[in-house]
Each structure stands twice: as C-alpha cells, then as structure tokens.
Chains A and B, each alone.
Chain A
Amino acid sequence: MDGPFVTALDLILRADSVLMQIIGLSLRVTLSAVAIACLIGLPLGAGLALTRFPGRGAVIVLFNALMGLPPVVAGLAVYLLLSRSGPLGALDLLFTPSAMILAQTVLILPIVVSLTRSVVEDLWTEYGDQLLSLGADRARAMPTLLWDGRVSLLTGVLAGFGRASAEVGAVLIVGGNIAGHTRTMTTAITLETTRGNLDLAIALGIVLLGLTLTLNALAWSIGQWARVQLG
C-alpha cells in the first residue's frame, strides 16, 4: 500500500488540478445545500417550536424521521422529479450541480429543522416570560432565539454539512458523476476504486477525512469558546 499513499500525498501537495476541481465542486455543492437548508430550516424549525397548530406533532415526527432518510432515496426522489419525464424535467437540471445541491438540501433540511426546533423550544422555556415581558411576541422572539441559540445551532449545521459531504448515493444518482462537471469527492472515490485506481481515491479520502476532522475540531472549539465567552 506504500505506492498509492505516496502518490496520493503527492497529488495533494502538488494541488493537482483535477483533484482541486473535484474538491472545489464538492465544497460548492455542499455549502450551497447547507446555506439553502439553513435559510429554509432555521425559520421553519423556530416556527415549529413557537407555534401550536393541529398536526404539529405529525410534522415534528416527520422531520425527525426524515433525518434518517437514506441518501439514495433522496437521490431517487430528486431524480424522478428532475428527469425529463418528471414534473420538473423542463428545468433541465438533471446531471447538473444544481440537481446535486437540491438533493443534498433534501438531506440536510430535516436535520436543520429538527435541531432548530429542539434548541428554540428549550430556549423559549428559559426566555419566554422575559421576552414577553420585554414586549417581544413569539414572532419577534424567533430571530432572538435563533441568535441566542447560535452555538447549538452551529453544531447542527455542521452535522448537516458532514452528512452531505460524506454521502455518495444522492449525488451519484442526480449528478451522474460526469467528469469535470458533477464529479464530487465521494463519487470520484467510488469511480476510482472501481477502476482499481487507488491513488486518487486515497488522496480524496484523505482530503475528506481532513475536512471532517477540521470541521469537528472547529465545532468543538467554537463550543468551548462560546461556553467561556457567552455563558
């Protein structure tokens, strides 16, 4: 195994253009998906936490369950949606990075919604009376609680990022693993492994592992810092 590892490190140290292109696309897709999931999921989760309506319990259970949605199922659903023979076929999005962003958003959104709901619900128990006393109603309290729960929420968002950047099933189905176009780290690892071409696969594996480690270290440090700084 000496050979592939050395080549892999060489690819990384030389900042090999194919490798960089794949990493760049992976980050672009996953970060976009995280951003969209947050834009939708944070208000939605906070809304679920602070409102009461018939069927609320069912919605909460649904989002909790969707956190365990297998990526391939999400991929298949988005594939059927975006396929030319599907309802959104005219958008011509299948086998594009946009399709992959959409699929990963579907994967991350339940995590963001469920976590936000639970964080905001807990905060409301603590803050509710005080905020009402200060004149904030529940709608006004939403951004307040989201901001005050920012550290806990960040952990959840990073969990979502981790799930999206590690998954291969959804992006493979809706992206098609097209070289230079929709090939991400995980789909490239799959392909290169099946080619018996382990150098690039290992290099990408190392990068992915490093990314995950960095993110977790970051999350942990922010948590520590926040405990000291924000109380």
Chain B
Amino acid sequence: MSRSCLPLTLDKVSFVASGTALLSDLSLTIAPMRRLIVMGANGAGKSVLLRLCHGLLDPSSGRRIWANGEARAQQQAMVFQRPVLLRRSVAANLDYPLAVAGLSRAARRARVEQTLARFGLERISDQPARQLSGGQQQRLALARAWSVSPQILFLDEPTAALDPYATRVIEEMILQFAEEGITIMMSTHDLGQARRLAQDVAFLHRGQLLEHRPAAEFLEAPQTREARAFLSGDLIW
C-alpha cells in the first residue's frame, strides 16, 4: 500500500459551468478517519463538491491536493444516488473495478468471494444486478465500492431514492465502513440522517462553504443565518 492519500485539501477551488459559478473560492480540508456530512439545499453545490473531490470534475481555478501527491488518488470510491450497475451478474459487477485496476484473475476471484461473503450476497451472486430491488442495488454499489479497499468513500445522497428500511441498512453499512477506518464524505439533505452519521458537517449555500465544524456544534448552534434557516426548515434564497 502506498502512503495515505489523506487528508485531501481544497485550496480556493472554484468550479464554473456554462458561465455559472457552481462552487466559488472554496477551501476545505478533509481529515482522515472522519465522517464528514455535506449539507445544503438543492442546488447548493453538494454534488459538484463531491464529484470535484472524487476527480470526476476538475476545478476551474484553485487546487485539489491529495496528501500523497497523486493527481487522482487510486484508493477512493464513490457511490451515487442512483447506482449504475452493469447489465451483468452481481459477481461480475464486483469483479469489474478490480479488473479495471489490473488485478490478476485469481486475486479478483478471491476478493469477489470475500466481498460476497462480507455483505451476505453469495445467494444472489449469479443474479442479474439490474433485477435487484433499489435497496439491494445500492447495497451492491456499496459493496463494490468497498471491494476496492478505498481510503475515502464519497457518497452522493445514497439513500435519497430508498425506503426507510433500506435507508437504515445503508446507514449501518456506512457506519461499519467508518469503523474499519474508511474516511466518509457524504452529502444529504436529510437532517435526521446527518444527526445519525455526521462527525463533521460542511454546510454549503449557493456554492459557498459557510460552515465546516464538528457535527454537534453545527447542529446545536449554527453560526450563519442561512444554516439556522436550513436547519429550521425555512426556505432561504
């Protein structure tokens, strides 16, 4: 294993698309072994921030700095609101990122079996992934993310399309991942979920980072008017 890619630092990062600034002048350090929840209203820039950290987007200005100096860290993964599973079996979906990473056939098989066992997916390993229920699909997406041994896992509103039971299952998985030492950076607009999962909160408003503090402090005593309004459920524009 190479040395840790964390912390990840964003230095005065902006992201502009078609003339609109979706993120402006944002500086943020993502500390290792923490669960960071990104909060904010729809359109605040949560998704863009996660994609930018993950490397799917590049900053229009400013810098994204991994601690080990890589341009794009190898040991990271992302789970989307709607997981895109390949039109293949559950096992083949787990195999895919390992094959992309260049693992040998034997190593892949071992890792896939380990992952199937770890998440109780053995029974459905041959089933077409797209046939699974929404909750199961998201579970598989998390298992796939876990299988590549990420140091940091980005999750973009992973439970927004799920029912309460499936949401619980996913949240438990995320907490387990964190206990295993995986750094979590996740967006949500669900306050209850933030209370259950967050150690730190980053609050975005119109592409600007207004607060970045330990969760307890933020949730009890938000310092900005926008955050207070958001937490009390008021619409602010």
Contact = CB atoms under 8 A, between A and B. Distances in A.
Interface of A: 126-127, 129-136, 140, 144, 147-148, 150, 229-231
A229 B96 CA distance: 19
Nearest to B101: A135
Given A134-B97, A144-B96, A231-B130, A129 B80 contact: yes
B129 to A, nearest CB: 8
B235 interface: no
A102 to B, nearest CB: 34
A136 B84 contact: no
B51 A129 contact: yes
Given A148-B86, A231-B128, A231-B131, A133 B100 contact: no
B99 to A, nearest CB: 9
A147 B78 CA distance: 23
B56 A129 contact: yes
A231 B54 contact: no
A127 B84 contact: yes
Contact of B128 (A129, A140, A230): A230
Contacts of B83: 130
A134 B56 contact: no
Contact of A132 (B56, B87, B101, B129): B56
A140 B128 CA distance: 22
Chain B, interface size category, equals 20 to 34
B87 A230 contact: yes
Contact of B100 (A127, A129, A140, A150): A140
A150 B128 CA distance: 14
A144 B87 CA distance: 10
Nearest to A131: B84
B80 A135 contact: no
B86 A144 contact: yes
Contacts of A129: 51, 56, 80, 84
Interface of B: 51, 54, 56, 74, 77-78, 80, 83-84, 86-88, 96-97, 100-101, 128-131, 144, 148
Contacts of A131: 84
B97 A230 contact: no
B101 to A, nearest CB: 6
Nearest to A228: B131
A229 B131 contact: yes
A147 B97 CA distance: 15
Contacts of B101: 135
A130 B128 contact: no
A135 B97 contact: yes
Contacts of B129: 231
Contacts of B54: 133
A130 B84 contact: yes
A229 B100 contact: no
A134 B130 contact: no
A135 B56 contact: no
A126 B84 contact: yes
11 contacts: A133-B77, A133-B78, A134-B77, A134-B96, A134-B100, A134-B144, A135-B97, A144-B86, A230-B87, A230-B130, A231-B131
Given A127-B86, A135-B101, 20 more contacts: A127-B84, A129-B56, A129-B80, A130-B84, A131-B84, A132-B56, A134-B144, A135-B74, A135-B97, A135-B100, A136-B100, A140-B100, A144-B86, A144-B96, A147-B88, A148-B88, A230-B88, A230-B128, A230-B130, A231-B87
Contacts of B51: 129
Interface centre among A126, A129, A131, A229 (most CB of B within 10 A): A129
A155 to B, nearest CB: 15
A134 B141 CA distance: 11
A148 B78 CA distance: 21
A36 B145 CA distance: 38
Contacts of B77: 133-134
A127 B85 CA distance: 8
A54 B158 CA distance: 39
A230 B77 CA distance: 25
Contacts of A229: 128, 131
A140 B84 CA distance: 16
A231 B93 CA distance: 14
Contacts of A150: 87
